[in-house]
Structure 1
Amino acid sequence: MSNARTASLSAAGVSIWLDDLSRNRIESGELERLIESHDVVGVTTNPTIFAAAIGGGIGYGGRIADCAARGFDAAQTIVELTTADVADACDIFSTVFETSDGRDGRVSIEVEPGLAKDTAGTIAQAAELWAKVDRPNAMIKIPATLEGLEAISETIAAGISVNVTLIFSLERYRQVVNAYLTGLERARAAGRDISKIRSVASFFVSRLDTEIDARLREIGTPEALELTGRAGVANARLAYEVFEQAFSSERARLLLDLGAHPQRPLWASTGVKDPALPDTLYVSELAAPDTVNTMPEATLLAYADHGESSGDAIAGTALESNQLLNAVDALGIDYAEVTAKLESEGLDKFEASWNELLRTVEDALGRAR
């Protein structure tokens, strides 16, 4: 039986995706239970998630031994393990995918972090992962670096659904929307069925609060402290305004009329980092139609237990949100510098997780041999 709070959130137009995946979650039936009990309709993954899952060791021994017997190195083995997890999760979500006409039931897998500034390499690996998973409800995650923008367009043009990740700034988000629309235009020119292509734009929320709040506390004035815990939500709400404007434009309408779909905003990094803030803040305050909220399990369970939502929490908030970010800027906190720093740190974190995963798999392959 579905949880009343998550059911209400879904009814408000929010697609609940789980920000976690592991072989144990698949084989234990836990993923299916969350679909039934907590209205989960998709999954996102990243190198950090897979490092934790494979590093935990549960459920991967046989597959690693098989890869060792086939002479695979660590990078090849990681592709085998992660694409198998994503393919199996896609199968679990197949009914959701079909009943939502492809809107949900999606499972994302990310290109290798080291390719984030390699346009050609990202395009090539996106195609390889798409072919390897071989499920229509997969999504390939591509970081929204400057070099990633053309990769997004080309991957969309090839008919591959894309989850654009690591978006922090409104300006970069506008560039991401442009990359998506460009990809759709190229796909249509190539004769592809653009109604089969889906995309989400993953806007990171809590990390902005963490960085800006640290700077506000360093300033320490009552005016500065009054602004803590508010920038992340304000930034995301302004991103939603960008979404609404972009997909009501003439350029977008031409594509939508031909069967294309809007690139929905996805709220990522929704686990609250500051214990002084409500643990469901980035869910309740960002509920709105045509959005996705990908939650760590702890956030999902917290919302199911005590989360509150009164429908659309974003409508009518643009002016207030803009004023808040202007107030932060007036205190000398440079928005462009903060978001650039967060993008760089995000890439570094995923690269570190990937390297940790390589070492873990190398050790496991050595033991298996």
Structure 2
Amino acid sequence: MTDSNTDSTTPTRALSEAGVSIWLDDLSRERLRSGSLADLVARRDVVGVTTNPTIFAKALSEGDAYDEQLGALAGAGVPADEAVWTITTDDVRAAADVLRPVYDATDGVDGRVSIEVDPRLARDTDGTVALAQQLWKVVDRPNVMIKIPATVEGLPAITRVLAEGISVNVTLIFSLERYGAVIDAFVDGIEGARAAGLDLTRIGSVASFFLSRVDTAVDKALEADGSEAALAERGTAALSNARLAYELFGERFGTDRWQDLAAAGAHVQRPLWASTGTKNPEYSDTLYVTELVAPHVVNTMPEKTLDAVADHGDVTGDTITGTYDASRAHLAAIESSGVSMAQVTQQLEDDGVASFVTSWDELLETITAGLAQAGDGAGA
């Protein structure tokens, strides 16, 4: 899947060869209709797709790709809540079909497409489980992943749906402590699936660790401190946090408990680097990609970041292994400047849930307006 315009190894191919699975953090009906997704699979080594309410809200608000379906739904009198369900699951199902060859070629490791449960259920364990079950059934593709936020209430939901053989993308992870709890929830779920006699080779999971939002929040606090020591730590929090998450990944999936499950066919839950679009223009636009290269990770990128990596990404191999002591030193220096990583990451989780709820409400508003407009047009 190298770029046909060059005989040399492209940056995206180099990432893939270094063990990084490139996923696209975007989906729309227009991308599917135009063949853009298939093209990125072919030219940019994309092997997966992630979505969230913000992505769908943006897709519905632009262009005319959904007009025909909105007209049909309006004509059938479908309410907005149900229309959201129908439209988003249709897009995810279609994307899963585009990526099915990748899924088959990688024995289910990649070729995955994620869809999120209603974010209004982020603090509701039973509601999350019920909706995850419904989404899994409605999309009806083996290569879908159901996104569940890593809230305290989300953790038991993750275990329960994995135990039923439902693949899960755990989202909105900000802290190392919560990441450890996510791994526990995952392993408990896989053990439950094995006890139920399910085929472990078909169950996939990733743990989505968010990056740029961490730097934005920590940098703001460091700049408020204003000391030379504090300012020197700007731009180090997210990478250090992620690198120590990878260290934890290696430790926890090297245990006898996990090796027993691996022998039964279970796939590891890979760390996924999310929120990889650089928000600070002073930082490299490929920072959260080229500085987080290691085997068995996923990097999901908005197309702007993917294009930047393909154009000028400097992929030099593993940039995580061996950084752990320096990463701990950076986080210690940040704490010494009066910034509590525990407080920052909890606030980021709360803000992340609230942001997705807002986007979900905007999505409902967009579809409500679209149904009304389509209904008016049909009656004209």
Instruction: Name the TM-score, length of structure 2 as normaliser.
Output: 0.96
Residue 72 of structure 1: CA displacement?
A: 1.4
Counterpart in 2 of 1:161? 167
1:298 partnered with 2:308: no
Q: Deviations over 1:171-204 (max 9, x none)?
A: 0000000000000111111111112101000000
How big is each residue's C-alpha offset from its partner over 1:263-317, in whole Å with a ceiling of 9 and x where there is no partner? Answer: 0000000000000000000000001100000000000000000011111110101
- Match runs of 1:23-38 below 5 Å: 23-38=29-44
2:175 maps to 1:172: no
| Cα distance, 1:69 vs structure 2 | 2.0
How much does 1:2 deviate? 2.1
Q: CA deviation at 1:129?
A: 0.5
Which residue pairs with 2:92 in the alignment? 86
Question: Secondary structure of 2:153's partner?
Answer: helix
Shift of 1:205: 0.6
Pick aligned residue for 2:60 from 46, 54, 57: 54
Alignment of 1:142-157 (within 5 A): 142-157=148-163
Residue pair 1:156, 1:162 contacting (<8 A) in 2 also: yes
Does residue 109 of the first structure (1) align with residue 115 of the second (2)?
yes
Quote how far apart the aligned CAs of 1:250 are.
1.5
Structure 1: distance between partners of 2:228 and 2:294: 32
Alpha-carbon separation, structure 2, partners of 1:105 and 1:194: 17
TM-score (norm 1): 0.99
Unaligned runs of 5+ in 2: 4-9, 376-380
Measured after TM superposition, the shift of residue 149 of structure 1 is 0.3
Q: Does 1:345 align with 2:356?
A: no
Partner of 1:103: helix, strand, or coil?
coil
Number of the residue aligned with 1:219: 225
Is the contact made by 2:108 and 2:201 (CA closer than 8 Å) also made in structure 1?
Answer: no
- Residue 123 of structure 1 pairs with residue 129 of structure 2: yes
- Offset, 1:221: 1.1
Cα deviation for residue 64 of structure 1 reads 1.1
Q: For structure 1, which segment, 56-65 or 165-174, has the greater mean C-alpha deviation from structure 2 after superposition? A: 56-65
Amino acid at match of 1:181: V
RMSD, matched Cα: 0.8
The match for 2:2 is 2
TM superposition outliers: structure 1 runs of 4+ over 4 Å: none
Task: Give 1:191's aligned residue.
Answer: 197
Q: Give the aligned partner of residue 7 of structure 2.
A: none
After superposition, the C-alpha distances for 1:305-342 in whole angstroms (9 at most, x for unaligned) are 00111111101011110111011001110111000000
The letter for the 2-side match of 1:325 is L
CA distance in 1, matches of 2:156, 2:47: 29
Separation in 2, partners of 1:120, 1:256: 29
User: 2:208 aligns to what?
Assistant: 202
Code of the residue aligned with 1:153 in structure 2: it is T
2: CA distance, partners of 1:155 / 1:179: 10
User: Is 1:267 equivalent to 2:273 in the alignment?
Assistant: yes
Residues 37-75 of structure 1: CA deviation (Å, up to 9, x unaligned): 100000000000000001114310111111112221111
- Partner secondary structure for residue 287 of structure 1: coil
Pick one of 63, 71, 80 that aligns with 1:74: 80
Query: Which letter does structure 2 place at the counterpart of 1:239?
Result: A
Which consecutive unaligned segments of at least 5 residues does structure 1 have?
none
Aligned to 1:363: 369
1:231-250 mapped onto 2 (5 Å cutoff): 231-250=237-256
- Distance in 2 separating the partners of 1:74 and 1:243: 41
- Asked if residue 254 in structure 1 is aligned to residue 260 in structure 2, the reply is yes
Counterpart Cα distance in 2 of 1:241 and 1:10: 20
Confirm or deny: 8 A CA contact 1:25 1:31 kept in the other structure: yes
Q: CA contact under 8 A between 1:23 and 1:58: conserved in structure 2?
A: no
Q: Secondary structure at the match of 1:108?
A: strand
Deviation of 1:28 after TM superposition, in Å, equals: 0.2
Residue among 44, 49, 56 paired with 1:43: 49
Aligned residues: 369
Q: Secondary structure at the match of 1:201?
A: strand
In the TM superposition, what is the alpha-carbon distance from 1:253 to its structure 2 partner?
Answer: 1.0
SS of structure 1 residue aligned to 2:159: helix
Q: 2: CA distance between counterparts of 1:339 and 1:181?
A: 23
SS, match of residue 276 in structure 1: coil
Cα distance in 1 for partners of 2:79, 2:16 equals 42
Q: Residue 282 of structure 1 is aligned with which of 260, 265, 288?
A: 288
Aligned pair partner of 1:137 in 120, 140, 143: 143
CA distance in 2, matches of 1:52, 1:322: 38
Distance in 2, Cα, partners of 1:157 & 1:169:
25
Q: Matches of 1:229 and 1:58 in 2, distance apart?
A: 40
Q: Which residue identity does 1:235 align to in structure 2? A: N
Q: Secondary structure at the match of 1:93?
A: helix
Query: Which deviates the most, 286-295 or 186-195?
Result: 186-195
Residue type at the aligned position of 1:2: T
CA contact (8 A) 2:240 2:331 kept: yes
Which is worse superposed, 237-246 or 359-368? 359-368
In structure 2, how many angstroms separate the alpha carbons of the residues matched to 1:41 and 1:190?
30
